Amino acid sequence: MEYRFARRMGGLPPSFLGELFRVSSQPGIISFAGGLPSSDQIDLEGLARAARKVLNEEGRTAFQYSTTDGYLPLREYIADRYRRRLGLLAEASEIQIVNGSQQCLDLVAKILLDPGDHLGMERPGYLGAIEAFSLYEPVIHTVPLTDEGPDLERFGALVKRHPVRFFYGIPNSQNPSGRTYTESSRKAIGEILDGTETLFYEDDAFGDLFFDGRPRLPVKRFLPEQGIMSGSFSKIVAPGMRIGWISAPPPVLEAFNTAKQAADLHSNFFCQLVLHRYLTATDLDSHIRAVSRVYGEQCRLMCELLDDLMPRGMTHTRPEGGMFLFCTLPQGISSMKVFTEGVREGVAVLPGVPFYVDGGGDDTIRLNFSNAGPEAIHEGITRLARVMKRQGYSSG
């Protein structure tokens, strides 16, 4: 039988992830390619206690259908944390629970984009966002990402030239680059967008994971009526629970709720109850500080090894937090060749090509430092150095 699919499926960028994860899971491979938080940092005992309490005290309720917007006490917890940490005037009514912040990408695009509509995003940009947005056939414009944030001149020109429905960005420890916007860039973005009809979609998946423990003011502070903000418990509690949220102005959230109800009725209610029990019995800030401290040490180790073992023509970002850093390869080396040769050497990296929706990136690779301990990082970077040496480059 010949299967016919919707036209939109033909416009998707080619996916490299299936092959990547297949080879990365092979025995003996040290993988810096995925986007996993550390399994060692999951508080298994605390989550188990919370799950037992939910089962013992609310078991029948926990396994029943629930409301689309999510468990109210959990939404109140998120709103309260926004007020305490970031000074946002957040209320539970402005927050909706989702299946990981990845679901926000799909549903925001679904309610805001018609085919041919314009949207903006960073260059390089998050692969998961590129794939989610592409399904709705928009015209995607990119703005180069600098060490301070999006190139503001190009950002302003884009908004002035095109009716951009929204600009998607990751101001904190961006994926893939690891870069963080400066506060002045965040204010400037608010000033540029103020008075326009362009929304700023702020993906804050990594905002808790700064190595210095200091929260950064969100763009939404400077653009409250045009700001959409998503967050996730995947990076700070447990990714398998698939619990994230969106915070948005009421008209946006009303449309979002309708789209989510049609998509899945509601997110996993049992996990919402377990998570809330866990959060109210745990010092979350202390847990996050411990996780961030481990990630900071692993990031610094990886940076030091890259500085010591990689060729002089290879550069990398120096993240303030998050889980990733980005490398630019010496001239003439292809990231796909580094990936292929790396697998043979027993180390997997993520080529940068999928992060560039408008082409390019073959001279870049993304490395994940959160899901490998110090020994694995040392051995993996040593293997990567051998790959570079076979390409004719020795450490500089």
Instruction: Assess whether pLDDT exceeds 60 at residue 209.
Output: yes
Mean pLDDT of 75-102: 96
Q: Which residues make beta-bridge pairs with 203?
A: 230
Instruction: Assess whether pLDDT exceeds 70 at residue 140.
Output: yes
Structure confidence at residue 203 (pLDDT): 98
Domain limits, the chain: 14-42+286-390, 60-281
Structure confidence at residue 6 (pLDDT): 87
pLDDT-derived band at 19 (thresholds 50, 70, 90) equals: low
Q: Tell me the fold of 14-42+286-390.
A: Aspartate Aminotransferase, domain 1 (3.90.1150)
Structure confidence at residue 394 (pLDDT): 60
pLDDT-derived band at 11 (thresholds 50, 70, 90) equals: confident
C-alpha to C-alpha distance for 81 and 92, rounded to whole angstroms: 11
Mean pLDDT of 92-118: 97
Considering 41-55, 334-348, 382-396, the range whose residues carry the highest mean pLDDT is 41-55
Share of the chain above pLDDT 70, in %: 96
Mean pLDDT of 152-173: 98
SS (H, E, C) 209-274: CECCCCCCCCHHHHCHHHEEEEEECCCCCCHHHCCEEEECCHHHHHHHHHHHHHHHCCCCHHHHHH
Instruction: Assess whether pLDDT exceeds 80 at residue 224.
Output: yes
Instruction: Assess whether pLDDT exceeds 90 at residue 15.
Output: no
Mean pLDDT of 108-132: 97
Residue environment code for 84-119, b if the CB has 16+ CB neighbours within 10 A, otherwise e: eebebebebebbbbbbbbbbbbbbbbbbbbeeebbb
pLDDT-derived band at 17 (thresholds 50, 70, 90) equals: low
Instruction: Assess whether pLDDT exceeds 80 at residue 395.
Output: no
Instruction: Assess whether pLDDT exceeds 80 at residue 380.
Output: yes
Instruction: Assess whether pLDDT exceeds 60 at residue 396.
Output: no
Instruction: Assess whether pLDDT exceeds 70 at residue 330.
Output: yes
Minimum mean pLDDT among 241-245, 256-260, 290-294, 392-396: which range?
Answer: 392-396
pLDDT-derived band at 13 (thresholds 50, 70, 90) equals: confident
Mean pLDDT of 184-189: 98
Instruction: Assess whether pLDDT exceeds 60 at residue 188.
Output: yes
Of the options 3.40.50.720, 3.40.640.10, 3.30.1330.120, 1.10.3720.10, the CATH number for the domain spanning 60-281: 3.40.640.10
Q: Which of 286, 311, 277, 278 is nearest to 394 (CA)?
A: 311
Residue environment code for 48-83, b if the CB has 16+ CB neighbours within 10 A, otherwise e: ebbbeebeeeeeeebeeebebbbbeebbbbbbebbe
Mean pLDDT of 112-125: 98
Of residues 15 and 199, more confidence is placed in 199
Of residues 58 and 393, more confidence is placed in 58
Q: Each residue of 304-316: pLDDT tens digit?
A: 999 999 998 899 9
Mean pLDDT of 56-72: 97
How far, CA to CA in Å, does 321 sit from each of 149, 207, 266? 15, 8, 32
User: How far is Cα of residue 311 from the mean position of the Cα atoms in its chain?
Assistant: 29
Instruction: Assess whether pLDDT exceeds 80 at residue 337.
Output: yes
Packing angle, helices 284-309 and 374-390, rounded to 10: 30
Minimum mean pLDDT among 26-40, 95-109, 232-246: which range?
Answer: 26-40
Mean pLDDT score of the chain: 95
pLDDT-derived band at 27 (thresholds 50, 70, 90) equals: confident
Residue spans of alpha helices (H) in 27-126: 44-62, 72-86, 100-112
Q: Do domains 14-42+286-390 and 60-281 have the same CATH topology?
A: no
Q: Each residue of 239-289: pLDDT tens digit?
A: 999 999 999 999 999 999 999 999 999 999 999 999 999 999 999 999 999
